[in-house]
Each structure stands twice: as C-alpha cells, then as structure tokens.
C-alpha cells in the first residue's frame, strides 16, 4: 500500500473513532447537571435543613433502607426529623472559601470559591460548589453514630456556636471553628472545623469528653447528599461532557460509580470518596490506616455517597477523638496530593492519564518560569517536537524523496494504468531502488495522536487553565476561540503542509486530502483554544522542518 492511501485510512479511522465517542457522549448515560453559582449570602441567613431520614448503620446493625418520597422515616430518626425546621447557620470566611455551616449537625450547606468567578465578566459571582437550592442541591453531612441506643451527635443533632461568623485573621496560620453538642448524661462533643489560609482542605475533629458513668462507643461518618438529575450535552459547551457524579478510590484503584447503583457497598482502608464535577470536587478522606464502609444510596431525588468508620470506645471519665479531612474546591493537584492518597486522580484524564499526567507536570514546570499558560503550551510543543525530531526527520526524508521521484511515479502509473498488479510491482521496485519506505510518513502521525488526545484532556480537566489567558482575544485557553481565528490559522497551516508534501498519485485521494484541512477546521472549531494553539504550533514547526528537509534532499538529488 502506498503512503498517501495509508494516510487516508488513518485519517478516516481517526474521524470514525471521534464520531463514535461523540455518539456515546450524546446518547450514552447522561451526566448530572452542573452545580449552579450564586453570590454570597449573609451570616445571619437561615438555610434549608440538612435533615435526612437516613443514618449510616453501625457494624452491629442491619443497613437501614433509604427513605423515599411518600414513605415514613425509620423510627431511629423520627425524633430528630421532627425538629428539622429551618436551622440557623454560621458563616466561615477564609481568603479562598466562604462557607455556611448549619447548626443542625454542623452540615456544610454552602461553599463559595471566592477566587473562582463563574465567568470573566465584571462582577461575576463566585462558583458555588455546595448549596441547598432544590435543583442543584449538594451538602456535606457528618457526625458520630453511637452504639447501644445512646444519644449521638449526628447530622440531625443540634449544635451551638460561640459566634455567628468566624473569619481568618490576616497573617493567621489557621482558623478553628468549634461547635458544641451535649446530652443530659454528661457527654460533650466539640466538633471543630480547622481551615488554613490559601487551602481548600478542611479538617473535621471531634473531641469527646465522656463525663457519664458508662463507656460510650461511636463511629464517625461523612455523607455527600446531592440532587440527581440529567444534563443535556452540547457540542457548544465543553463543560457538558465532563464527568459529574460519585467516585471512590479503594486504596488501589480510582473508580467512577453509577449514580443509580443502590447496591454499592464496600469496605477498605487507605481510600476516599468524592462528588465530581468539571474543574471542582468535594471529597472526604478518612484516616488512612482504618477500615471504613463505603455505600451509595438514595433519598428521594438525592443520591447519598457516604462512609462510616469502625466503632471506638471512649471509657467513662476519659476523653477521645475522631477526625476526617474534607476537600471543597478546585482540582488543584498540588493541594490535592497531601490531603489523601492519590486524591489528585480527581483531575480525571481518563485512560490517557499515563501521558496526560507527565504532560501536565511539564506544562506546570514551564508555567512557573514564563508565567503564562499559552506560552507554556507553545514551549512544551517545541520541546515535544525536539524529542521526536529524529523520528520525524526520517519520515520527512522519505516524504521528500517521494516528491523528487513523483514524475517517475506518474510515468509508471500512465504506463501500467490498465494492469494494477504490474503497477504495484513496478512501484515497489522503484521504492526499493530509491530506498524509500512508503509507510514511514505515517509513524509520526501515530505518535502524535495520543499526545494530541492527552493535551485535550489536560486542557479540559486541569482547573489551572480554567479562564487562563494567552494574549489578545484568547482569554480562556480551556474554551473555544471566541472569534474562530485560531481554527482558521490551523486550517491554513494544514493546507500549506498538504501542499508541501508530495501529491497522492490517485486523483481522488488528492481531492480528499485537499479537503481534509476544511474538515478538521470545522470539527476542531469548538475545541479548547489551548488545544488549537498546540496543534497550530506543531503544524507550523512541521512545515518548517519539512521545508528544510525538502531543500536538503533536493540538493542531494542534484549531486
């Protein structure tokens, strides 16, 4: 098979593959809709209760079924649910987070990311990751379950706080926000949220003081309650294709969960759970060395992803402590790594993580030097071109030799146009005499396709490039070019590259290849502009390299 025809098959296979992916995205399992954003609320505001009829079962108890619409709650939580009127909230403010915490259970009912506006327009509100709004409901519930029917500070219990608002002081190393719960038997639990400047991880610490005459056994838990609904996907909105839903890491493998799976239940240590969406995540990480039970259930139109730890005993007259870590914020990999084992996997690059992860770290290293993600993409593209230079040079020399012998190829085609078997034989003999590998030009394309797709996922999933500007009209490398200038430049560069290479011997193939730049321009016009910047830069570098090789080979042919 001659070189141009192989090019054609590779191009058509790639287009078919991308269409299959698009079809799966459009007609496959729908993703849940994005969390809405809104402006900050006041500290004195009241939130909808984070109450629920479902509490995690203790090791000695059978699992309690989730309450559904129209059914009565289990008896264990009836009393708590009865007092679930609107509960007051306290406000917690750091330099990066603005939170509302309900005094019912110490549940996180609002989280605004003050450093991340919804868009780049003036006075844009911050992204709201947690909210009690009906259609975008998502809260983080936590508490302690007590054994033996003892009183317990669950997410249905009422806590008290010393103030209505807590703010991180300038220059302070941390902010501690204590909530207190007591019972009538001498048990006091202080639930403390520990936040640090510039960080999105939150430590939740329970200090238990057991002044009662008997031992107290309890297990800690965390639940993510989130509204379940479908989302329409659109080629005009790149965010609509990002995964939104529950995920876990079981200490060995990261997995996305089917939100409809009511039977999911596993026990493991060294893991975590997360509720995912594009660029942002809410995650919970228990102590690494302890076995925790993970479950996924439903409460009406809410999914509940949760974990519950082992029972621990706090002897009478002593104190004890429980703790977990939360992460509520953007998928900043440098912040995710120290919070939990492999928590950076929430920046989900899919099956190309093996390429995308080192590519992201290379981009990050260059960014620290140049301070602009657009120029970082260009510099990394140049570095990749240098890395594969010898490979592409071999291919380029083969293409250049094909160009020098194109008159002889046409002569053979005219002579044996009615004898395809003899035509193929004469062509192969010509390639052998001239030491030309007709398939050598395809290898660089095969190598570049995975890199291209890895770049796509890095630009789509890395929050570091969200709303990151390059220059001029490109003010967000993670979204499409607003004026479609880069797609047109890319298309022109691809056409110039086509003209620089030898024309396919088959006239029909030549027409198809001439039309390919138009197809690619239309198809990639909606891709992230950072991806187009990479492909355009790579194409221009390829043109420069091929032009130089053509010049050298032509000079050698004259000699």
d(Cα 518, Cα 12) in Å, to the nearest integer? 14
- Contact between residue 296 and residue 261 where contact means Cβ atoms under 8 Å apart: yes
**Cβ atoms within 10 Å of 450's Cβ, excluding its own:** 13
d(Cα 48, Cα 430) in Å, to the nearest integer? 79
d(Cα 457, Cα 17) in Å, to the nearest integer? 16
**Cβ atoms within 10 Å of 424's Cβ, excluding its own:** 13
Coil, strand or helix at 152 = coil
Give the list of residues 6+ apart from residue 19 with CB closer than 8 angstroms, or none.
none
Q: What is the pLDDT of residue 268?
A: 97
141: nearest Cα among 346, 329, 326, 330 = 326
Q: What is the pLDDT of residue 38?
A: 38
Q: In this predicted model, what pLDDT tens digit does every residue of 353-363 receive, in sequence order?
A: 899 999 999 99
Count of helix runs (H) and strand runs (E) in the chain: 12, 21
> What would the two tokens of residue 362 be?
């290379």
Domains defined along the chain, listed by start: 3-28+357-558 (no CATH), 46-345 (2.70.98.90)
Q: What is the pLDDT of residue 391?
A: 76
Q: What is the pLDDT of residue 340?
A: 96
Q: What is the pLDDT of residue 239?
A: 67
Largest CA distance in the chain: 105
DSSP lists the bridge partners of residue 280 as 277, 330
> What would the two tokens of residue 371 be?
């301070």
Q: CA 203: distance to chain centroid?
A: 23
- Contact between residue 130 and residue 328 where contact means Cβ atoms under 8 Å apart: yes
> What would the two tokens of residue 57 be?
């079962």
Coil, strand or helix at 253 = coil
d(Cα 460, Cα 349) in Å, to the nearest integer? 9
Q: What is the pLDDT of residue 86?
A: 66
DSSP class of residue 131 equals B
**Cβ atoms within 10 Å of 461's Cβ, excluding its own:** 23
Q: What is 256-317 written as a DSSP string?
A: E--TT-TT-EEEESS-EEEEEETTEEEEEE--TTS-EEEEEEEETTEEEEEEE---EEE-TT
DSSP lists the bridge partners of residue 99 as 92, 111
Q: What is the pLDDT of residue 20?
A: 55
Sequence-distant contacts of 447-454: CB under 8 A, at least 24 apart:
447/388, 447/391, 448/538, 449/14, 450/352, 450/355, 451/355, 451/359, 451/384, 452/531, 452/534, 452/535, 453/352, 454/349, 454/352, 454/355, 454/356, 454/359
Coil, strand or helix at 68 = coil
d(Cα 357, Cα 373) in Å, to the nearest integer? 16
d(Cα 227, Cα 206) in Å, to the nearest integer? 28
pLDDT profile of the chain (559 residues), mean per 10? 48 56 47 38 39 73 43 35 61 98 97 94 93 92 95 96 97 97 96 98 98 96 89 64 89 92 92 95 96 94 94 96 98 96 93 91 96 96 88 74 75 80 82 71 71 84 92 90 93 88 67 82 88 92 87 75
Pairing mode, strands 187-195 and 87-93:
unpaired
- Measure Cα distances from 446 to 380, 395, 403, 501, 523 in Å: 19, 12, 22, 18, 20
Q: What is the pLDDT of residue 182?
A: 97
d(Cα 35, Cα 248) in Å, to the nearest integer? 20
Q: CA 374: distance to chain centroid?
A: 20
Q: CA 187: distance to chain centroid?
A: 43
Q: In this predicted model, what pLDDT tens digit does every residue of 253-262 receive, in sequence order?
A: 999 999 888 7
Coil, strand or helix at 405 = coil
- The span from the first CA to the last CA of the chain, in angstroms, equals 30
**Is the sign of the CA dihedral 335, 337, 342, 344 positive or negative?**
positive
Pairing mode, strands 165-167 and 87-93:
parallel
CA dihedral (52, 56, 60, 63) in degrees, to 10, reads 80
439: nearest Cα among 15, 9, 14, 18 = 9
d(Cα 115, Cα 263) in Å, to the nearest integer? 38
* Percent helix, strand and coil across the chain, each to the nearest 5: 40, 25, 35
pTM, 2 dp: 0.80
Q: What is 196-219 written as a DSSP string?
A: -TT--EEEEEEEEEE-SSS-EEEE
- Residues making up the chain, counted from first to last: 559
Give the list of residues 6+ apart from residue 7 with CB closer than 8 angstroms, or none.
441, 442, 445, 504, 513
């Amino acid at each position: 098979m001659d070189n141009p025809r192989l090019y054609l098959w590779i191009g058509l296979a790639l287009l078919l593959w991308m269409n299959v992916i698009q079809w799966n995205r459009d007609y496959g399992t729908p993703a849940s809709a994005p969390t809405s954003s809104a402006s900050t609320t006041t500290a004195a505001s009241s939130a909808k209760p984070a109450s629920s009829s479902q509490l995690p079962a203790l090791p000695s108890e059978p699992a309690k079924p989730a309450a559904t619409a129209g059914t009565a709650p289990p008896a264990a939580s009836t009393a708590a649910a009865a007092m679930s009127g609107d509960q007051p909230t306290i406000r917690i403010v750091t330099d990066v987070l603005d939170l509302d915490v309900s005094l019912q259970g110490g549940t996180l009912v609002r989280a605004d990311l003050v450093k991340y506006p919804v868009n780049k327009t003036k006075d844009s509100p911050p992204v709201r990751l947690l909210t009690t709004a009906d259609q975008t409901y998502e809260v983080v519930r936590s508490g302690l379950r007590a054994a033996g029917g003892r009183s317990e500070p669950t997410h249905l219990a009422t806590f008290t706080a010393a103030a209505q608002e807590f703010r991180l002081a300038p220059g302070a190393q941390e902010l501690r926000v204590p909530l207190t719960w007591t019972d009538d038997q001498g048990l006091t639990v202080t639930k403390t949220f520990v936040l640090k400047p510039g960080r999105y991880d939150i430590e939740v610490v329970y200090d238990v003081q057991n002044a009662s005459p008997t031992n107290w056994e309890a297990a800690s838990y965390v639940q993510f309650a989130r509204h379940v609904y479908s989302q329409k996907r659109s080629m005009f909105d790149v965010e609509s294709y990002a995964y939104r839903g529950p995920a876990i890491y079981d200490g060995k493998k990261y997995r996305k969960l089917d939100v409809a799976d009511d039977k999911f239940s596993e026990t493991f240590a060294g893991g975590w759970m997360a509720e995912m969406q594009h660029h942002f995540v809410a995650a919970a990480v228990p102590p690494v060395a302890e076995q925790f039970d993970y479950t996924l259930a439903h409460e009406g139109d809410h999914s509940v992803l949760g974990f519950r730890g082992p029972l621990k005993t706090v002897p009478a007259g002593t104190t004890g402590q429980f703790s977990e870590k939360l992460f509520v914020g953007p998928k900043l990999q440098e912040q995710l790594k120290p919070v939990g084992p492999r928590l950076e996997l929430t920046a989900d690059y899919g099956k190309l993580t093996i390429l995308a992860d080192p590519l992201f770290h290379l981009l990050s290293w260059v960014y620290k030097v140049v301070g602009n993600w657009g120029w970082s993409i260009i510099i990394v593209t140049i570095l990749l071109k240098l890395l594969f230079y010898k490979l592409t040079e071999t291919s380029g020399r083969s293409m250049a030799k094909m160009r020098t012998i194109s008159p002889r190829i046409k002569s053979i085609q005219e002579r044996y146009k009615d004898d395809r078997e003899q035509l193929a034989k004469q062509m192969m003999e010509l390639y052998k005499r001239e030491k030309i590998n007709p398939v050598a030009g395809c290898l660089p394309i095969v190598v570049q396709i995975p890199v291209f797709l890895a770049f796509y996922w890095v630009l789509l999933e890395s929050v570091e490039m969200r709303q990151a500007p390059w220059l001029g009209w490109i003010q967000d490398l993670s979204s499409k070019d607003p004026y479609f200038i880069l797609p047109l430049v890319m298309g022109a560069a691809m056409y110039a590259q086509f003209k620089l290479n030898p024309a396919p011997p088959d006239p029909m193939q030549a027409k198809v290849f001439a039309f390919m730049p138009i197809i690619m321009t239309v198809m990639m016009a909606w891709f992230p502009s950072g991806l187009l910047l990479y492909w355009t830069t790579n194409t221009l570098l390829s043109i420069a390299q091929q032009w130089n090789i053509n010049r050298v080979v032509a000079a050698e042919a004259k000699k």
